[in-house]
Amino acid sequence: MKDYKELSQKAFELTQSEIERIKEPVVGLATGSTPEGLYQKMIEHYNKGYSYKHLTSFNLDEYIGLEESDPNSYHYYMNDKLFRHIDIKEEKAHVPSGITADFEKECASYEQAIKDSGGIDIQLLGLGVNGHIGFNEPGTPFDSQTHVVELEESTRDANAHFFASKGEVPRKAISMGIDTIMRSRKIILLVSGVKKSPALNKLLTKDVTERFPVSALHKHPDVTVIADEAAFTYVEKK
């Protein structure tokens, strides 16, 4: 893709065609800057008359310790960037809780809710500079399910620009596991910008290792990677 605009358009077309193909679609949603353009397109589509009433969604992750009303929580992000602008039903839009008293229970019930929905049809993913997907940091077992994670310093640095200072970036998060993600029937990975280029280059070497979480996708039968030209800056030509 030439640029971020084209990437967002392509991501929208692909996601939307899956949503329209399936009667009761279940979509896995991501946060961060990368999917914002896609969410914008979904809002435009809704404004032109399309209804997302039949959509069920599961977000990948949430920071631990942030209230839903905190502008840096992923609950807030999803409401702000998508949910409140379309007609998705509140009870069908799932985001793991970062403020529960019992995380073991929250993780198990999130997994169960995904299973009860019939499983994720299409999972959207962004990419961390260290190769993380969701908040699955390097070293996360490939058989992991929804779990509590300790964030790497590089992740806290990368996400610090959303916060007033790095000190405010939480140290823990709750995230779908690699196995949870891999059980999705279709996966779309969005990679935008020069900052993600080293990670994209590493992904394209095809080494599969838990030290580089996104490499698990090589074992999935239906993955589409949508990347813009900037993301190819450091990709070595074979």
8 A C-beta contact, residue 125 and residue 30: yes
Tell me, yes or no, if 61 is annotated catalytic. yes
Helix (H) or strand (E) holding 229: none
Q: Which span sits near ligand GLP by CB under 6 A: 50-58, 64-72, 123-131, 179-187?
A: 123-131
Beta 147-150 vs 172-175: how paired, if at all?
Answer: antiparallel
Q: Closest by alpha carbon to 21, among 33, 13, 29?
A: 13
For ligand GLP, the binding residue among 8, 15, 31, 57 (CB under 6 A) is 31
- CA–CA dist 62, 66 (Å, integer): 8
User: Of 84-92, 93-101, 126-134, 199-207, which part binds ligand GLP (CB under 6 A)?
Assistant: 126-134
Per CB under 6 A, the list member of 130, 159, 180, 184 interacting with ligand GLP is 159
Q: Give yes or no: 150 in active site.
A: no
Q: Check if the beta carbon of residue 120 is closer than 8 Å to that of residue 27.
A: yes
128 binds ligand GLP (CB under 6 A): yes
Say whether 132 is catalytic: yes
Restricted to residues 190-209, the positions that interact with ligand GLP (CB under 6 A) are none
Torsion of CA 34, 37, 43, 46, to 10 degrees: -110
Nearest approach, Cβ of 77 to ligand GLP (angstroms)?
10
- Residue 60 binding ligand GLP, by CB under 6 A: yes
Distance, CA of 88 to CA of 55 (rounded, Å): 6
Establish whether 24 is a catalytic residue.
no
Q: Contact residues for ligand GLP (CB under 6 A)?
A: 30-34, 60-61, 126-128, 134-135, 155, 159
